Amino acid sequence: MRLAAGQEALVARVLTKDGKAGFGFSFRLDAAEARHMAEWHAGVRADRPRLEPALGHPWEEAFLGGKPIPWDREPAFAALQWLSG
Asked if residue 2 is part of any domain, the answer here is no
Enclosing domain of residue 28 = 10-79
The model scores a pTM over 0.85: yes
Paired with 11 in beta bridges are 25
Residue 84 lies inside a defined structural domain of this protein: no
- Is 47 part of a structural domain of the chain? yes
Using CA atoms, how far apart are residues 55 and 27, in angstroms rounded to an integer? 7
User: What pLDDT shows up at residue 85?
Assistant: 58
pLDDT in tens, the chain (85 residues): 999 999 999 999 999 999 999 999 999 999 999 999 999 999 999 999 999 899 999 999 999 999 999 999 999 998 988 877 5
Distance CA 74, CA 43 (A): 24
pLDDT at residue 84, as a whole number:
72
In a domain? residue 50? yes
Does residue 72 lie in a domain region? yes
In a domain, 51, yes or no: yes
Look at the chain and report how many structural domains it folds into: 1
For the chain, the residue count is: 85
